C-alpha cells in the first residue's frame, strides 16, 4: 500500500479537536454533509478542506482564531 503524502499539515490539529470532542468522524461528516472519506482525508492533511474546515470548527464549537493557536 502506497503511503499518502501529507500536503496540508496545517489540518493535522483538527484530529486532536475531533478526538477531544468525542464525536466520530462519520458523525461529523454526516452533520456537515460530506463523506467520511473526504473528512478523513482533510483532517489527515491529504485534502486542503476549503469550506470544510470552517464548517467542522463550527460544529465543534471552535473559533478559527483559537484553532490557529
Residue 51's domain comprises 9-68
The model's confidence at residue 69, banded by pLDDT at 50, 70 and 90, is: low
In the block, residue with C-alpha cell 468522524: 25
Q: Give domain status of residue 49, yes or no.
A: yes
Q: What is the DSSP string of the chain?
A: -PPPP-S-GGGTHHHHHHHHHT--HHHHHHHHTS-HHHHHHHHTTSS--TTHHHHHHHHHT--HHHHH-
Q: Quick check: 16 pLDDT over 80?
A: yes
- The share of the chain scoring above pLDDT 70, in percent, equals 97
In this prediction, residue 47 carries a pLDDT of 96
* Rounded Cα–Cα distance for residues 31 and 55 (Å): 9
**Which pTM does this prediction carry?**
0.86
Q: Give domain status of residue 4, yes or no.
A: no
In this prediction, residue 20 carries a pLDDT of 94
Q: Give domain status of residue 1, yes or no.
A: no
> Domain containing 37 — which CATH number?
1.10.260.40
Count of structural domains within the chain: 1
* Rounded Cα–Cα distance for residues 60 and 32 (Å): 11
Amino acid at each position: 500500500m502506497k503511503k499518502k503524502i501529507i500536503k496540508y499539515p496545517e489540518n493535522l490539529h483538527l484530529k486532536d479537536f475531533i478526538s477531544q470532542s468525542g464525536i466520530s468522524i462519520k458523525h461529523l461528516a454526516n452533520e456537515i454533509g460530506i463523506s467520511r472519506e473526504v473528512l478523513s482525508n482533510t483532517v489527515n492533511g491529504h485534502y486542503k478542506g476549503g469550506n470544510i474546515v470552517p464548517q467542522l470548527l463550527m460544529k465543534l464549537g471552535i473559533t478559527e482564531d483559537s484553532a490557529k493557536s
